[in-house]
Structure 1
Amino acid sequence: MRFLKSLGLSILALWGAAPANAATTAFVGAMVIDGTGAAPVRDGVVVVTDGRIVAVGPRSTVAIPADAERVDLAGKTVMPGIVNAHAHVNASPRSAVPARQQLVDQLALYARYGVTTVYSLGDDGAESVALSRETREQSRAGTLDHARLFVSGPVLNATDPADGRKRVTENVARGVDIIKVRLEGPPDAPIRQPAVYGAMIDQTHTEGKRIAIHMFTAAETKGVVDAGVDILAHSIRDRDADAALIAAIKARGVGYIPTLTRDLSVFVYEGTPDFVADPFFAKEAAYRAPLAALSTPEAQAKMRADPAAQAIKPALAQAKRNLKLLSDAGVPIAMGTDSGAGAGRFQGYFEHLEMAMMAEAGMTPMQVLVAATGGAAQVMRIDDQLGTLRPGRRADLLVLSTSPLDNIRHSKTLEQVWIDGRRVH
């Protein structure tokens, strides 16, 4: 608890408080979905001063300052900016574009699709760590024009408990926001042993950080939950999560990130995916070159012949089933996609596709929206600043022409993106 309080104070100190006589904007007339799961406010008003929300509610009860700039949103829907709890933002050494510019371009791409906060869970270099700090400095100064970034640094492996503790400490010293570990390799791999990942979880908490672990099976999920993990970075994909496991996840407040589109991307390019024809996808120039490489007859044939690609199909079906089971049980769900981690995991668009797949799994549109906004912020422990349209939070908001509560796919009727109360063009 002391750690969470100190984290909140440090974030407030970094982002700063609103100065006196700051500029004020009032968003007027929209249906407001605040990201908490509460009923939407019709003919709502959101008042923003110096990048922070100062009032939210029906027009009949919210006093709009006389000097406020009014933005008329009658007939529109306003919701919080999307929070991606599991993404990847990293630079390719093969590109002629400078590394920092590659990262900024990816964050701008996320923002164009309404993703205003990104947690990059792995393979983050020094440029990414520096940029994560810079986005918060820009937020405080009111100059942020792309998604803000949080990072985990490199995904950690270890040979034994002592090595695991050492690697965690070294990663924390780099200035990362969270620790990420991947359970991989043969069954007897050291990182799969409870003594090793348990030591890394314990050291992470000793260092005042939180840890997300990449897992696949129910058995290894039980192991990391028993060891004290904070976040499950993927779905359970081998069998139904039983009542005891679900109860343990819920009782310990462990966050669950499904990443359904991660598994979809493993096999979907064996043909031409339906989403390729979606105007919301096709409008983005940055997608064209990677899509072309995935769409050659040779690439498609290779994917059709790949046993791993075919094996993930039933795993994805199982992931959807477990998402429904855990959501119904009240486990904290955070939307995440693993976008940016490999070819065909399209940053920006895949977050909307993920939300549609979460609804297909049985979650209601409101549950999905909460998982993609306030719920994700709560799982990542940034909900005192981000994720909801409530007084004191950063004014990251999206304007849609049609309500996603009627159909979650209406998230793609995105018209405007505002970050810290400034419109992103």
Structure 2
Amino acid sequence: MKALRFLAAVGTALGALCGAVPVTAQEISVTALQGARLVDGRGGTPLEPATIIVRGEHIVAVGPTDSLPPPAVATVVDLRGKTVIPGLISNHAHVGQTNGTEQGAANYTRENVLRQLRQYEAYGVTTVTSLGVNDASVFYPLRAELRAGKLQGADLFGADHGVGTPTGAPPQAMLKAAPGQIDRPDTPEKARAFVGEQKARGTDLVKVWVDDFNHSLPGKMDPAIWRAVIDEAHKLGLRVAAHIYYLADAKALAEGGVDIIAHGVRDVPVDADFIKVMKDRGTWYIPTLELDEATFIYAQRPAWMSTPFFRNSVQPPLRAQLDSPAWRSKKQADPAVAIAKRNLSMNLKNLKALHDGGVRIGFGTDSGANPLRIPGFSEHRELALMVQAGISPMQAITIATRDAAALLKLDDRGVIAPGKLADIIVLDADPTQDITGTSRILAVWHRGRQVAGPVTSFKP
């Protein structure tokens, strides 16, 4: 019976493909990706060998290769011995803040944002959410063009300026943001007004920076302000993501109705009360493990730093810095390194507890927020760290694809299935056995077109 239902579904899909209205390859391209091991993003047993039929931007049929012949109009791509997974989806990144070793508003140009989005795409991250500090005059036109498939680069979503505090987070000394690039209300009324302005511009989400960056800033956001942000955003049909560090803040925000905890809790172990409120309210949790690892890992020179997968993600000025013995010595002596190592250790433990407790986990790294958080490469390190935390490779892939799409309320991507966008990574390894296999990229398909090959041919 299952086989009959499958063949009927295939017949329907191929009928739409080749039925009453003739379709030629010149009108709308048709491609059959044939013979690969399919990891479809839903967490089930891989299908091997599988065929994926793509028409235009979308997948129209998926099934066993011996039961799904390619239509006559299709270009057949032989993927025997390869593995395919969905394009990765970042729920927490930033664009336009860095270039080489530099950070600041001068980098928020159309050209630089596109350069970064092309790098994300080449590394298999086909959807990126820029959580605040966006220049609206650049962000919104690019978002529209990318999501219409008019430009090459990852699809772009974001949180407009974001809402910070007048003299605290996010720290201006670090970000060097332009005037108006971050909204900094000092009253609940002003906070509501800023949310309304962001809604009018068309923001996807609202971001609030609540904590004091581990006691490094004058103070935290007044709870009356973040409560006003959440209330106003919800009235306007927007969801809110919160930058946090401490468990107490994360718990208060979850109880106060925030939709997304945008960083991991790093001060103390999470407790049963926090897990319960997160589950009861359906609040999402993005651990951003790589945020702290990036603070210290490059000074340690792990073996993967010599691989093309890493080195081709690094712009020449940053590569020179990372290769400098003087820089490495200075970094290793920085007191921030010990703090970052403790933060990462706590974050790993808390992620495992929250995942085991049934909390909804999203995927993000804070890549692009400073030069050491490298677009595209950081997302693959995040997968490895999730597995280090005790999550299986298959679970990590599912979080970075299907679940990350669900966090954004996107039902058109995140899994390889009929009707979804053809965002696909072709790998020369099986990442369900070893998560580092996600670095063995042979090709990236985005919206039905191959947009990248092996990263050995990519230049940052």
TM-score by length of 1: 0.89
Deviates more, 1:22-31 or 1:400-409: 22-31
Measure the CA separation in 2 of the matches of 1:221 and 1:72: 48
Q: Sort the Cα spacing of 1:354 and 1:268 in 2 relative to 1 into closer, same or farther, 3 A.
A: same
Unaligned runs of 5+ in 1: 1-16
Alignment of 1:17-166 (within 5 A): 21=23, 22-90=28-96, 99-126=109-136, 127-138=138-149, 143-157=150-164, 158-166=185-193
SS class of match (2:45): coil
Given that 1:23 and 1:68 are in contact with CA atoms closer than 8 Å, whether structure 2 keeps it comes out as yes
Q: Aligned pair 1:420/2:420, yes or no?
A: no
Task: From 301, 309, 334, give the equivalent of 2:362.
Answer: 334
Q: Sort the Cα spacing of 1:119 and 1:311 in 2 relative to 1 into closer, same or farther, 3 A.
A: same
Measure the CA separation in 2 of the matches of 1:46 and 1:146: 23
Provide, for residues 25-44 of structure 1, a one-character-per-residue CA deviation record: whole Å limited to 9, x for no partner: 11111111111112211111
Deviates more, 1:313-322 or 1:273-282: 273-282
Given that 1:271 and 1:295 are in contact with CA atoms closer than 8 Å, whether structure 2 keeps it comes out as no
Q: Which amino acid aligns with 1:65?
A: P
SS class of match (1:181): strand
Q: Sort the Cα spacing of 1:275 and 1:287 in 2 relative to 1 into closer, same or farther, 3 A.
A: farther
Given that 1:257 and 1:334 are in contact with CA atoms closer than 8 Å, whether structure 2 keeps it comes out as yes
Unaligned runs of 5+ in 2: 1-15, 165-184, 453-460
Q: Sort the Cα spacing of 1:274 and 1:169 in 2 relative to 1 into closer, same or farther, 3 A.
A: farther
Q: Which amino acid aligns with 2:114?
A: V
Measure the CA separation in 2 of the matches of 1:413 and 1:193: 46
Measure the CA separation in 2 of the matches of 1:71 and 1:410: 21
Measure the CA separation in 1 of the matches of 2:92 and 2:445: 22
Measure the CA separation in 2 of the matches of 1:63 and 1:254: 43
Task: From 164, 183, 198, give the equivalent of 1:171.
Answer: 198
Distance apart, 1:70 and its partner CA: 1.2
Task: From 296, 311, 318, give the equivalent of 1:290.
Answer: 318
Distance apart, 1:232 and its partner CA: 0.9
Measure the CA separation in 1 of the matches of 2:104 and 2:432: 43
Q: Which amino acid aligns with 1:376?
A: A
Given that 1:333 and 1:375 are in contact with CA atoms closer than 8 Å, whether structure 2 keeps it comes out as yes
Q: Sort the Cα spacing of 1:95 and 1:194 in 2 relative to 1 into closer, same or farther, 3 A.
A: closer
Count of paired positions: 403
Deviates more, 1:151-160 or 1:102-111: 151-160
SS class of match (1:220): helix
Alignment of 1:10-409 (within 5 A): 21=23, 22-90=28-96, 99-126=109-136, 127-138=138-149, 143-157=150-164, 158-185=185-212, 192-284=221-313, 286-382=314-410, 384-409=411-436
Given that 2:211 and 2:219 are in contact with CA atoms closer than 8 Å, whether structure 1 keeps it comes out as no
Tell me the C-alpha RMSD between the 2 structures: 2.4
Distance apart, 1:412 and its partner CA: 0.8
SS class of match (2:363): coil
Q: Which amino acid aligns with 1:244?
A: D
Percentage identity across paired residues of the two chains? 39
Measure the CA separation in 2 of the matches of 1:226 and 1:188: 25
Provide, for residues 202-235 of structure 1, a one-character-per-residue CA deviation record: whole Å limited to 9, x for no partner: 1111111111110011110001101111111110
Q: Sort the Cα spacing of 1:275 and 1:61 in 2 relative to 1 into closer, same or farther, 3 A.
A: same
Q: Sort the Cα spacing of 1:188 and 1:26 in 2 relative to 1 into closer, same or farther, 3 A.
A: closer
